[in-house]
Amino acid sequence: MNIFDRLQSIDKRILYVLLFFAIAFPLVNPVPLPMAIAPPTRAAYEWMKSLPDGGVLWVGGDYSASSIPELTPAGKAFVRMAFEKNMRVIHFTMWNTGANIMNAWLTGVAAEYNKQYGVDWVDIGYKPNATAILRHMTSNIIEAAGTDFYGTPLADLPLMQEVLALSPEYVDGIVELSTGSPGSATYLTYVVEQKGIEMVVACTAVSAAGDMPYFLSGQFKGLLNGMAGAAELEKLSGHPDKASASLGAQSFAHALIILFIILGNIGYIVNRRG
Amino acid sequence: MRKELPLLLTVLMALLVIFSYYSFHLNKLDILGTTDKWVTISMTAAVLIGTINLTRVQATNVIRRKEGWYNSLILLIVLYGYMILGLIQGLKGAQYDWLFQNVWVNCDSSMFSILAFYIASAAYRAFRVRSKEATVLLVAGIIVMLGNVPLGNLLWNQIPLVRNWIMEVGNAAPMRGILLGAYIGAFAVALRILLGIERAHLGGGN
Amino acid sequence: MSTNIGHWVGAIFSLALLSYLFKENAVFRLAEHIFVGMSSAHIVVTSWHNYLRGVVMEQIPAGQYILILPIVVGLLMYTRYLPKVAWVARIPLSIWVGYGTGYVLAYTPKPFLTQIRASFVKFVATNPDGAFWAGKTINNVVFFLFLVGTMMYFFFTIKRDNPVIATGASIGRWAIMIAMGAAFGNTVMARTSLFVGRLNFLLGDWLGIMKK
């Protein structure tokens, strides 16, 4: 086996160890790097800024624990922007695993801004059969959802006595944190297209390529691409948090993977010519 | 009866939704509001199906002392113990939420984080410039990887712009083509169910 | 290093599951089974507390007895465990499938048509001042060719010996390669993000060695 053969078959355990250190080192010793803002992120930021002060923002938290690094920072940045504009926030999730995750960080961010539950924000929590519930909420939230995350009847919460339906009369915009299905496409089909409410989406990077046609058609007013999109929004909104702090590690990991791809291809090309 | 009744119900339910949507009068009556609720309640009433299936499989492992049966036993204890705890305490119960945030969240995150290593390994082994098409795929992938993180901007400040072009033109156009095809596919399947041609959901046998 | 017992428990489970990278082992399998058990329990608990409890404990006792009917329909699913009446489980299933089918046929044409409408791009683009915009024009033409080419690539019912279809499909193949490359680049970012998140927890919350 010559060196070029070896370049094509480096032991995967070496790659694993190097990848671990490529991510760990910049996390322990942060390296500040210049960040470019992608147009879909800027569009989301501008859209968020354009929402009326004191309005109502609907947050869809449709993800599980595995997507926390990508979507929680984006969600926090959006909700912080909303609270700074004195907007009221309503959260609803179509993922049973998203209920406790969303409630935990929403409670934390609401506490940062001294927001009162039931008045400034409400957590509807998880409801099964997402499609039907979501469509039903476009005409009557209380009838469709019944109770909130804590089991309190929605009719008893002051905010929900004011926001009767998921429609433009009551809700100024939707921020959807989407991992897959049910997610952004569900909102698009049953709420955005039917009722005309505007929506921005923060998606996991896996979905970004497939979601781009929706951004270009204007069906999504903005699109955050995974952790990078979240970090860009953190920078734009002036709330640097975990995504910004993690982007250095992401850079090193990408560099390592590209380096290995190049090494493998050098071996392949030289061997093919020889 | 055993096939015809379910088939009839399928068609009737589909027609109910379609007419409720397209008929102005039915739309105004918000019939779907009632049926949405009924369907959701019926689906939720069937939520234990998954638990029962899991119990059957794991209990069989324990009873027959199959390899790793003790793990199956632990799974059953955790399943019913955690379920009872949750049903008693509620989602924000001190112990229930503590276990969720500290055990479940970390398990789910760790399970999926393993994929980082597999995709790195797969990229290294599979990405070869074997053809012109493969080269285009590789170059597009590398530019997007670099453009997505600050490193790309640091190496050359035009990389994010090339990434933007790839995402918004080179990627979005074919993705829209695929998307339109997927929509047509979904319509076709739905139409086949409505017309009774597609009956897979009725299962086999009598 | 964290003094929070929750962080320690989380770290132990994380390391147990990550040990799979080295090789499959007994500790991994134990953690995996606990994870599956909790996941299954959580579905039942959230469904009960966030939805069904309100129906059963409040709405029905308040006089909405008609809601017993959908509960009975849902319960018919359990007849699948009784071989003699297993076919009855098809009743709720057929209702749900029919309902979903209706939803697809009624609601999805709108987003589909919006996508088509957005595909009518100007071949001669102008900037907001009304002047010719070369960059946008080129992008629009490329976008159109890539879109039509991709759709032609999936024409399996028309022979490729037609030169228009053959050329279109060829453009489509190249376009799909770019899209797949972009999808792959993003997938790498998504997957590495997951491990970055894990190390944020292990090195930051648990070991406390990350600089703020």
pLDDT for the residue numbered C155: 87
Q: Over 80: is that where the pLDDT of B175 sits?
A: yes
C-alpha span between A154 and A161 (Å, rounded): 8
Amino acid at A34: P
Query: Which residues in chain B (12-71) have CB-CB distances under 8 A to chain C?
Result: 12-18, 20-22, 35, 37-52, 54, 68, 71
Q: What would the mean pLDDT of A175-203 be, rounded to a whole number?
A: 96
pLDDT digits (tens, 9 = 90+) for A18-45: 999 999 999 999 888 889 999 999 999 9
**HSE-CB of B56 using CA atoms within 13 angstroms:** 7
Q: What is the DSSP letter of A241?
A: -
Measured between CB atoms, does B140 come within 8 Å of chain C? yes
pLDDT for the residue numbered C120: 94
Measured between CB atoms, does A215 come within 8 Å of chain C? no
Q: What would the mean pLDDT of A109-133 be, rounded to a whole number?
A: 95
pLDDT for the residue numbered B203: 75
Helices marked H in B64-158: 69-89, 94-99, 105-113, 115-126, 132-148, 150-155
pLDDT digits (tens, 9 = 90+) for C130-172: 899 999 999 999 999 999 999 999 988 888 888 899 999 999 9
pLDDT digits (tens, 9 = 90+) for B110-152: 999 999 999 999 999 988 999 999 999 999 999 999 999 999 9
pLDDT for the residue numbered A31: 84
C33 and B90 within 8 Å at the Cβ level: the answer is: no
pLDDT confidence tier of residue B204, bands split at 50, 70 and 90: low
Beginning with the edge strand found earlier in the chain, give each strand of the sheet holding A56-62 in spatial order: A121-126, A88-93, A56-62, A173-178, A199-203, A222-225
- Please give the helix or strand (H or E) that residue A58 lies within, else none: strand A56-62
Percent with pLDDT over 70 in chain C: 100
CA–CA min distance B86, chain C (Å): 6
Q: What would the mean pLDDT of B79-93 be, rounded to a whole number?
A: 96
What is the separation of C-alpha A63 from the centre of its chain, rounded to a whole number of angstroms?
A: 8
Nearest CA in chain B to C171: B174
Nearest CA in chain A to B145: A254
Q: C147 burial class (0-12, 13-18, 19+ CB within 10 angstroms)?
A: buried
Residues of C in contact with B35 (CB under 8 A): 99
Q: Over 60: is that where the pLDDT of B194 sits?
A: yes
pLDDT for the residue numbered C212: 64
Percent with pLDDT over 90 in chain A: 91
- Please give the helix or strand (H or E) that residue B188 lies within, else none: helix B172-194
A201 beta partners: A176, A223
pLDDT digits (tens, 9 = 90+) for B21-70: 998 887 777 788 889 999 999 999 999 999 999 999 999 999 999 999 99
pLDDT for the residue numbered B115: 96
pLDDT digits (tens, 9 = 90+) for A204-254: 999 999 999 999 999 999 999 999 999 999 999 999 999 999 999 999 999
Touching partners of C (3+ C-beta pairs < 8 Å): A, B
- The pTM of the full predicted model, rounded to 2 decimals, is 0.94
pLDDT digits (tens, 9 = 90+) for A207-218: 999 999 999 999
Q: Over 90: is that where the pLDDT of B167 sits?
A: yes
C-alpha span between B100 and B105 (Å, rounded): 6
Q: Is residue A91 classed as helix, strand or coil in its secondary structure? A: strand
Q: Over 80: is that where the pLDDT of A274 sits?
A: no
According to DSSP, the β-strands at A121-126 and A56-62 are unpaired
Measured between CB atoms, does B87 come within 8 Å of chain C? yes
Closest CA to C47 of A96, B86, A145: A96
ipTM of this predicted structure? 0.92
A226 and C115 within 8 Å at the Cβ level: the answer is: no
Measured between CB atoms, does A13 come within 8 Å of chain B? no
pLDDT for the residue numbered B206: 47
Q: Over 90: is that where the pLDDT of C204 sits?
A: yes
Nearest CA in chain A to B109: A66
Nearest CA in chain A to C189: A205
Closest CA to A233 of A124, A115, A82, A32: A82
